[in-house]
């Protein structure tokens, strides 16, 4: 029994020292891991924030390019009838949208939904306006109908989307 007590006199302090060293070392390694993770996230943000800002810029540009005022000035040509103008407007919207599809990776899902809704609502306004105009009438009649429908709406779908994107950009910083 005295041999057992003698062994315990050496083992217990050694065990206490071992557990203390283990706890201190574990705490140190956990702090180092958190520090490395923080530095990695910081470097990652320094890389991704400019890309995300560029994506928001491109989406704002997309919205500007598909805004009715911009579209009508760019697409409407002398001698077009309403049907031709409608087809050109819809084609231009789809082309612009398809050109910027990859930007959805860098913006929030809510922002992308707002952009998709703006596109859909704009197409709806163009189609509703076209249905109220004779297809063979001059394109100016369709242009006027589209602008009238936009004015009757409480807010332009494009402006709503731009406001949402601007709000999200402010929240990034």
In whole angstroms, give the CA distance from residue 102 to residue 81: 34
Would residue 24 count as lying in a domain? no
Would residue 31 count as lying in a domain? no
In whole angstroms, give the CA distance from residue 92 to residue 98: 10
| Percent with pLDDT over 90 in the chain | 72
CB-based contact 122:93 (threshold 8 Å): yes
Would residue 7 count as lying in a domain? no
Q: Residue 168 sits in which domain range? A: 49-172
In whole angstroms, give the CA distance from residue 33 to residue 48: 22
Over residues 41-99, the pLDDT tens digits come to 888 777 788 898 999 999 999 999 999 999 999 998 888 999 999 999 999 999 999 99
Phi, psi of 117 (to 5 degrees): -65, -40
pLDDT at 173 over 80: no
Would residue 3 count as lying in a domain? no
Q: Identify the pLDDT of residue 17.
A: 92
Would residue 29 count as lying in a domain? no
pLDDT at 4 over 90: no
Q: Identify the pLDDT of residue 102.
A: 92
Would residue 57 count as lying in a domain? yes
The alpha-helical segments, DSSP class H, found in the chain are 2-66, 68-75, 82-99, 109-131, 139-152, 157-172
In whole angstroms, give the CA distance from residue 51 to residue 98: 19
Q: For the chain, how many structural domains are there in total?
A: 1
CB-based contact 123:90 (threshold 8 Å): yes
The residue ranking higher by pLDDT, 4 or 151, is: 151
In whole angstroms, give the CA distance from residue 72 to residue 12: 87
Would residue 38 count as lying in a domain? no
Would residue 145 count as lying in a domain? yes
């Amino acid at each position: 029994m005295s041999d057992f007590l003698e062994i315990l006199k050496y083992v217990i302090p050694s065990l206490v020292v071992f557990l203390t060293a283990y706890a201190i070392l574990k705490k140190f390694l956990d702090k180092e891991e958190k520090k490395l993770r923080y530095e990695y996230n910081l470097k990652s943000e320094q890389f991704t924030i400019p890309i995300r800002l560029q994506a928001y810029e491109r989406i704002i540009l997309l919205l500007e390019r598909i805004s009715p005022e911009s579209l009508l000035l760019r697409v409407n040509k002398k001698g077009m009838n309403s049907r031709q103008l409608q087809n050109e407007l819809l084609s231009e919207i789809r082309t612009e949208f398809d050109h910027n599809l990859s930007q959805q990776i860098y913006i929030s899902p809510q922002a992308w939904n707002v952009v998709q809704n703006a596109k859909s609502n704009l197409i709806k306004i163009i189609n509703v306006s076209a249905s109220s105009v004779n297809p063979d009438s001059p394109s100016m009649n369709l242009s006027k109908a589209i602008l009238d429908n936009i004015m009757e709406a409480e807010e332009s779908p494009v402006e709503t989307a731009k406001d949402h994107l601007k709000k999200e950009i402010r929240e990034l910083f």
